[in-house]
Structure 1
């Protein structure tokens, strides 16, 4: 079976947070996946894994590149607004991903386990869009089969121009904040939102058999605790392997000194309130 190539595109504006070293360390243990990080931070190659490429970049450069690709003015002023553009990364940076089978986007407040144990070649050969949840498309991790239709999938939303030209954050890459409605299993046509999100788009096209998405729960969030990261494998409760842990809640109750070039050990535990060695 074909070994599908994968590239993640990450745009990060602002100082790296304390957990960035953990993210990089977990990327290192996924050596057959490439990570491209566009950032306005100083580039320090010595502390970067071989499969991670740091690319000097600014919001002004993104505005120019996005406007050129999309055909209308883009003028975002804050890095967080980039989340709305995640589904368009493969379109805006088409030259970068042209030789990959899949491109994706992910956040940096995550610690990966073994991605390929979950996103196998069997899965990649069958599906066009990969989510890390069973109920909606995840902004912290999503993969798209590289191709003209999928790379422009965001255009299937009737509201994409509104989203890309507004300074407001719409959570376009996920659900336009309708998380609970999708979680309880409402049909996408019953979930009325200000803009048609990517989850709405993907589920609508799935029903029309124009797209084959893969929705599977393979993420830990919240203050789960009882996790062990051991040489690239993330395990929960000594029993369940996990693709990645999203620190979205942990980072609100725990932090470390933001040490440049932090040496992360090859084995550590993640509790409900801290990471410890």
Structure 2
């Protein structure tokens, strides 16, 4: 009997086809070109968008865009879930991420694995993190140790995996609420970030459902923190040769979620994304930034933040 090696998997990536599903409605964010750069780094990965945004004139060949709308998503979800779905705000889509294997089953039939993810991030070389897990037999791959990572998770395309969300009747009911319930991660519970067991989470959260099935031996799930979601003072992310380094250590991707709303965190206005750049707590730089630039961005950003707070109190700012 021959032994399957990691190199065999990587050299035969077409035999382990993976597709990431991303419904996105409204307007592309200013940093969308950075997401496209990360996709370009991983040509073996397919990314399928359902969107009402203007389709980019230039995008990597591994991306596909299908014209859609929140209404059409709601109609398809209602049909596949056999529940009345009427999404009012696009952020509610996050609750539906665990259901994408069922909702979009007609689009993923030819793929061995499917996943969901966000676009407020930039990928490094994802093959270093996904394919070793496949070799080890993992059916579910989260890029956070603490939770199911809403920013990027991958699943084996099998019925028992795709229907795991349905093991909770509360999950299905909460899909019908108007607000984002945090179902795709921890249902807004922070226990696991403090070191508690995933089984201490609400039993309708997707992290709990995956952890329970894993504990019972019904599936094989990997929870490992391979990404970074926060850059602190003195930290640096370097993008070079299609690789991301966080303080000189390789990472799978950098998710801007904890930094992007700071007024001093600046996204670039590059017309063409360079092959090498740097990211610190104050944003993107084409060259290693010196202390003066950091100080200037942070000072002006804090001043802007104070101004906005004052205007909001005066009810001049929406």
Cα separation, 1, equivalents of 2:93 and 2:200: 28
Other-structure match for 1:178: 189
Find 1:126's aligned residue among 126, 137, 140: 137
Paired residue secondary structure (1:220) = coil
Q: In the alignment, does 2:245 pair up with 1:222?
A: no
| Alignment check: 8 A CA contact 2:146 2:223 kept | yes
Other-structure match for 1:268: 277
Moved more, 51-60 or 75-84: 51-60
Bigger Rg over Cα:
2
Find 2:109's aligned residue among 94, 98, 103: 98
Deviations 1:10-41 (A, max 9, x none): 01111111111100111011000000111111
Deviations 1:187-212 (A, max 9, x none): 34433x4x610001011111111111
Find 1:233's aligned residue among 234, 243, 246: 243
Structural mapping, 1:99-248, within 5 Å: 99-123=110-134, 126-179=137-190, 181-191=191-201, 193=202, 196-224=204-232, 225-238=235-248, 240-248=249-257
Q: Which runs of 5+ in 2 are unaligned?
A: 287-318
Q: Say if 1:218 and 1:189 are closer, same or farther in 2 by CA, change over 3 A.
A: closer
Q: In the alignment, does 2:94 pair up with 1:83?
A: yes
| Alignment check: 8 A CA contact 2:214 2:220 kept | yes
Find 2:258's aligned residue among 249, 264, 272: 249
Cα separation, 1, equivalents of 2:161 and 2:96: 14
Deviations 1:233-270 (A, max 9, x none): 001122x10000010122112244778xx321111111
Cα separation, 2, equivalents of 1:160 and 1:148: 18
Cα separation, 1, equivalents of 2:197 and 2:94: 24
Other-structure match for 1:50: 61
| Alignment check: 8 A CA contact 1:227 1:236 kept | yes
| Alignment check: 8 A CA contact 1:22 1:111 kept | yes
Cα separation, 2, equivalents of 1:104 and 1:122: 14
Using CA pairs below 8 Å that are at least 6 residues apart, which structure has the higher relative contact order?
1
Deviations 1:23-61 (A, max 9, x none): 0111011000000111111113x3211001122110010
Deviations 1:138-186 (A, max 9, x none): 111111100111111110123122121111211100000113x112332
| Alignment check: 8 A CA contact 1:18 1:255 kept | no
Q: Say if 1:255 and 1:57 are closer, same or farther in 2 by CA, change over 3 A.
A: farther
Other-structure match for 1:14: 26
Cα separation, 1, equivalents of 2:167 and 2:125: 32
| Alignment check: 8 A CA contact 1:174 1:198 kept | yes
Offset at 1:121? 4.5
Q: Which runs of 5+ in 1 are unaligned?
A: none
Cα separation, 1, equivalents of 2:258 and 2:194: 21
| Alignment check: 8 A CA contact 1:17 1:258 kept | no
Aligned length: 270
